[in-house]
Structure 1
Amino acid sequence: MTFYDCATAPSPRRARMVIAEKRVDVARVEIDLRNGEHFSPEFQAINPRCTVPVLVTEEGEALCDNAAIVRYLEALYPDPPLLGRSPLEQARTAEWVWRVESEGLMAIMEVLRNSSKALKDRALPGPDPVPQIPELAERGRARGQRFFSVMDERLRQTPWLAGDAFSFADISALVFVDFAGWVKMEPEPGLDALKAWREACRARPSGQV
């Protein structure tokens, strides 16, 4: 399998952490987003959406989304499970992955893409120009801080977001919390459960990729 990655981007880090947790041997290809390599004809032939991550399977099919990549690898390499063992664990994991994406990652993406000068006319991923909306950056900051508190409340009840086991929900959430630092956002003081969870995530081998 071949994994198209970008070491500095948050989205492929989620897939990279899954690969690390499952100890899958893949050929890694670095895509230089800063210099627009993802818009090259060669990469567009692999993923017309011009985004990373991409995992090309042994059958030659390109999986161009984190959800697809983690489901594929979970089926091939069930241990350790990252999407839950029981039906209830699977449901909890799916719920928290969705919440992290919609309430956390999307909020920080709104801030970055609508405030960074380097992303002028790139307010949405893909090859088409999209103008920035500064008000979305302001809203994203408020949403991100709110979700820090939501996570802390949950982590006061359970060691990991989906329950007693580390999962793809925690991978997604760690990427969100670290990604927030890109736009100079950090959890407010007093969110001790969130802080302890973050340290536990970072202590895992996958937390360093």
Structure 2
Amino acid sequence: MQIAIDGPASAGKSTIAKLIAKKLNFVYCDTGAMYRTVTLLAKKHNVGYGDTLNILKLMSEHKIHFLNQADGQHVLLDDEDVSDAIRTEEITNNVSQVSAIKEVRTELVEMQRDLANDVDIVMDGRDIGTTVLPNAEVKIFLIASVEVRAQRRFKENIERGINTPLKELQDEIAARDYKDSHREISPLKKANDAIEVDTSDMTIEQVVDRVTEIVNEHK
């Protein structure tokens, strides 16, 4: 079974997808981490975030892969664990530029589809139900207000020792929404057959229960 979970920034996609995968004993794939890792790769080599040719060259020279461990999924760039490095503010603010590059998306989508072959998988991102896994049996589209998502990001940042003003986070998330939904290639949008879940006033447990309910209805 393939479960696609899409939605805007900080809607809870990764948190929910991880928990659902663990609950159902499915493979989990965080596609956003892939785009973040490519963004980090560009940063490490002083390549502009819109420099298509040099980014593609770097992608051909380096390997992005996942490692599942007891404490969760880790993202590796070659042999380096970059799980924390891809969550910095600079990467967050520039990943939209990298993910808008058609050739980057083409390569990563192929990698994502390969990961989904012959396994039960929960995959989260922004174009899973529309582009990556259009035939997924279950498609979820998580939403939440900009204010709620900014609060979530603010809390995550505080836990990482980052103290970005809440208003600044709201502006960043609103700008990210616009970029993601207006890009030419695979824009953020709800698949026609996706079920929308508004997580604004729900606890994590409530969202997991609702998504589990939807999955069970499709078995």
Scaled by the length of structure 2, the TM-score of the pair is 0.30
Q: Greater share of strand residues, 1 or 2?
A: 2
